[in-house]
Structure 1
Amino acid sequence: MGRRRSGRPVDGILLLDKPVGASSNAALQRVKRLFGARKAGHTGSLDPLASGLLPICFGEATKVSGYLLDADKYYWVRVRLGEKTATGDAEGEVIARSDTSPPAEDKVREALAAFLGEQDQVPPMHSAVKHQGKRLYELARAGEEVERKPRRIRIHEFELERLDGDTMDLRVRCTKGTYVRTLVEDVAEHLGTCGYVAELRRLAVGPFGAQGMHTIEALEEAAERGHESLDALLLPIDEALADWPAVVLDPDSVFYIGRGQPVQVPRAPTGGWVRVYDDHERLLGVGEVLDDGRIAPKRLLRAVG
Structure 2
Amino acid sequence: MNGLLVIDKPGGITSHDVVNRLRRITGERSIGHLGTLDPMATGVLPLLLGKFTRLAQYFSATEKSYSGSIRFGYATDTYDADGEVSGERVCPSLTLEAIRSAASRFQGEMDQLPPPFSAKKIAGTPAYKLARAGKPVELKTAKICIRSFEITAFDGDEASFTMSVSAGGYVRSVAHELGQDLKCGAHLSNLRRTQAGVFTLDDAQRLEEMEPFSGNLAGLENYCIHPRSLLTDMPSVGGDVVSLGRLRNGAQANLPEFSQAPLVKVFAGQKELVGIARRVAGTLFQPVVVMG
TM-score by structure 1 length? 0.84
- The answer to whether the Cα contact below 8 Å between 1:123 and 1:148 also exists between their aligned partners in 2 is yes
Partners of 2:200 and 2:25 in 1: CA distance:
23
Unaligned runs of 5+ in 2: none
2:192 maps to what in 1?
Answer: 201
Which position in structure 1 is the counterpart of 2:36? 45
Superposed CA RMSD: 2.6
* Structure 1 residues without counterparts, runs of 5 or longer: 1-9
User: Aligned in 2, Cα 1:116/1:290: closer, same or farther, shift over 3 Å?
Assistant: farther
- For 1:197 and 1:280, the matched residues in 2 are separated by 44
Moved more, 289-298 or 46-55: 289-298
Q: Kindly provide the CA deviation profile for residues 112-135 of structure 1, in whole angstroms up to 9, marking residues without a partner as x.
A: 332221111122110111112321
Say if 2:80 and 2:187, in contact at 8 Å, map to a contact too. yes
What is the CA–CA distance in structure 2 between the aligned matches of 1:148 and 1:198, rounded to whole Å? 23
The residue type equivalent to 1:215 in the other structure is R
Report the Cα offset of residue 62 of structure 1. Answer: 1.1
CA drift at 1:35: 2.0
Match of 2:121 in 1: 130
CA-to-aligned-CA distance 1:81-110 (integer Å, 9 cap, x gap): 1210111011111112344412333x3334
Residue range with higher mean Cα deviation, 96-105 or 13-22: 96-105
Report SS of the residue matched to 1:211: helix
Distance 2:139 2:284 in 1: 41
Q: Is the 8 A contact 1:61 1:237 kept in 2?
A: no
2:157 partner letter: D
Query: 2-side partners of 1:31 and 1:232: how far apart?
Result: 15
Residue 78 of structure 2 corresponds to residue 78 of structure 1: no
In the alignment, the residues of structure 1 paired with residue 233 and residue 159 of structure 2 have an alpha-carbon distance, to the nearest angstrom, of 33
Please list, as runs of the form range in 1=range in 2, the aligned pairs for 1:61-140 lying within 5 A after superposition: 61-96=52-87, 97-105=89-97, 107-140=98-131
Distance 2:279 2:197 in 1: 21
| C-alpha displacement of 1:77 | 1.9
Aligned mates of 1:187, 1:291 — CA distance in 2? 51
- 1:132 partner letter: A
Match of 1:160 in 2: 151
Q: Distance in 2 between matches of 1:199 and 1:213?
A: 19
Taking a change above 3 Å as real, the CA distance of residues 279 and 230 of structure 1, as seen in their structure-2 partners, is closer
Identity of aligned residues (%): 32
Alpha-carbon separation, structure 2, partners of 1:157 and 1:277: 37
Question: Is the deviation greater in 149-158 or in 255-264?
Answer: 255-264
Find the aligned partners of 1:290 and 1:195 in 2 and give their Cα distance: 53
1:226-265 matches, within 5 Å, as 226-249=216-239, 253-263=243-253
The one-letter amino acid paired with 1:210 is L
Moved more, 66-75 or 123-132: 66-75
- If the length of structure 2 is used for normalisation, what is the TM-score? 0.87
Query: What is the CA distance between 1:245 and its match in structure 2?
Result: 2.9
Amino acid at match of 2:56: S
Query: What amino acid maps onto 2:95 in structure 1?
Result: P
Deviation of 1:249 (Å): 4.1
Deviation at 1:293, TM superposition (A): 7.3
Per-residue displacement from partner, 1:54-74 (whole Å, max 9, x unpaired)? 122211221113323332111
What is the SS of the residue equivalent to 1:241?
Answer: coil
Q: Aligned equivalents of 1:251 and 1:226: distance in 2?
A: 30
Larger mean Cα displacement after TM superposition, 182-191 or 192-201 = 182-191
